[in-house]
Amino acid sequence: MSEFEERLSEEMAVLERFIRYRISNLHDAEDVLQEVCVAAFRSFESLSDKTLFKSWLLGIARHKCGDYFREKAKILEIPIDQLNESALTVGTHGVTASSVVRETLDRLGGSEKQILYLYYFRELPQDQIAARLGIPLGTVKSRLHYAREKFKEEYPYKPEPKGEKNMSKFPEILPEYTIQQRNEAPFAVQHRELPGMFILPAPHETCSFAMYDFPEKRCTGRYDLKVTGRIMVHGIEGVEIRSQYTEDKDKEESVIFAQLTESRCRYLGGEQVADGCRKIVTFLDEEFEESYGIGEGNCGFPVDRTAEGRITQDGVRLVHKAEGDISDIVGRFTVTLAGAEYDTVRLVDIQYNNGAMLCEHYLDKDGRTVLWRRFNADDWMIERYGCLWSEALPENERLMVNGETFVHWYDCITDRIL
């Protein structure tokens, strides 16, 4: 194996993550990855300091990604006749259009401006927009919502501040709830919450949630989260989220970096503290998968969710044919909780990192979590906990996944439903 091949092999995982986080289309990302490898091979001898190989390689990848978006710009139809647009540039969400004009629309990205133009200026119905752009109707709805949020963010006249959000006081004991399966087909939903944290990674968002261990159903801790600003991580634009975890009287603060686009919601990294040293972990680091990795290629959850049949259910048995992590909408349910009924779909997320675990997200039609439930594979983290979960929690509910036993551990509810 040549020196180039050895160095490329060592950095391939980082290179793949670097490209995948910029280009969401898997096939296009693979093409760009191949172009980067070919370009790096041809130029390797010109690299005088081989210890700089990693940064040099990522520099080539950055340029190739830019070439990809510039090529896309040639075929992207951005109606600018009435919007006084200037040069195209490459942004986080693909091809964007930017200028220094004062109009709020001119500060939006090309796809956001396009969707708002077609819907509000041309007054086209959403189904006609979908046909014109060649995208699913659900994607049109998602893009419209995201474009409206971006417009509000850029709009110069903000509403008068009304003070910090007053977080609801969570009950000490989880209210009784029921989950009843419905006969109707699951509805499609735009799920824009950060996986496991229930907050939208968007400016000015806040969220609180509490955890309840079973079978006691007693509150064991709560998280208060707040988006505190915009950040850039390796050229990827996202937001910083400050999280405060409270358990009894002890409080622990942490920082998370995340991104919400029209197609995906994902972690970009976060801050970890060990021995008094603050360490920033990002999606290019090996530690990322253990702490923040979720979804295929650790690229997070897709926003547009429909029942794809990837996971099927028969009673308490779930079946799937995936070799790794998998998520899918499995069924439609009425959740009755805290005196209210919710029409929900059940998003099942199964992860096999550090042992298998399963999460159930019961989502309303706005894509927000009504109830979240956590199950562990019977031998999950047995080295740490010292016994099987069926032995530790013999009274708790069971699920079977591909013949393997999963044991219910705890639930979460958010301040939205109180």
What is the spatial distance between Cα 201 and Cα 303, in angstroms, rounded to a whole number? Answer: 12
Structure tokens at 21: 């986080």
What is the spatial distance between Cα 372 and Cα 335, in angstroms, rounded to a whole number? Answer: 11
Q: Are 219 and 173 in contact (CB under 8 A)?
A: yes
Within 10 angstroms of residue 122's Cβ, the number of other Cβ atoms is: 12
Listed in sequence order, the residues at least 6 apart from 413 whose beta carbon sits closer than 8 Å to its beta carbon are 170, 174, 209, 210, 212, 337, 338, 370, 371, 372
Q: How does DSSP classify residue 367? A: S
What is the spatial distance between Cα 125 and Cα 92, in angstroms, rounded to a whole number? Answer: 27
Helix and strand numbers, DSSP H then E, in the chain: 9, 20
* Closest to 300 measured CA to CA, from 249, 345, 265: 265
Q: Are 91 and 97 in contact (CB under 8 A)?
A: no
In this structure, is the dihedral angle defined by the CA atoms of residues 373, 254, 355 and 26, taken in order, positive or negative?
A: positive
What is the spatial distance between Cα 293 and Cα 346, in angstroms, rounded to a whole number? Answer: 21
Q: Are 270 and 256 in contact (CB under 8 A)?
A: yes
What is the spatial distance between Cα 259 and Cα 261, in angstroms, rounded to a whole number? Answer: 7
Each of the 418 residues of the chain gets a pLDDT tens digit; together they read 789 999 999 999 899 988 988 887 778 889 999 999 999 999 999 888 888 899 899 989 988 888 887 676 554 443 333 333 232 232 323 333 333 223 566 667 777 778 877 776 566 788 888 888 878 888 888 888 888 787 777 755 444 443 344 334 799 999 999 999 999 999 999 999 998 899 999 999 999 999 999 999 999 999 999 999 999 998 888 999 999 988 766 678 889 999 998 888 999 999 877 677 888 888 888 778 777 877 666 678 889 999 999 999 988 899 998 888 889 999 999 999 988 999 999 999 998 876 799 999 999 999 999 999 999 999 998 888 888 999 999 999 999 999 999 999 999 999 988 7
SS3 252: strand
Q: Give the chain's domains with CATH numbers.
A: 3-75 (1.10.1740.10), 88-154 (1.10.10.10), 177-417 (no CATH)
Residue in the block written with tokens 């220094």: 100
Specify the pTM. Answer: 0.69
Residue in the block written with tokens 């951005």: 78
What is the spatial distance between Cα 217 and Cα 371, in angstroms, rounded to a whole number? Answer: 14
* Closest to 270 measured CA to CA, from 309, 215, 296, 231: 231
Structure tokens at 76: 């992207």
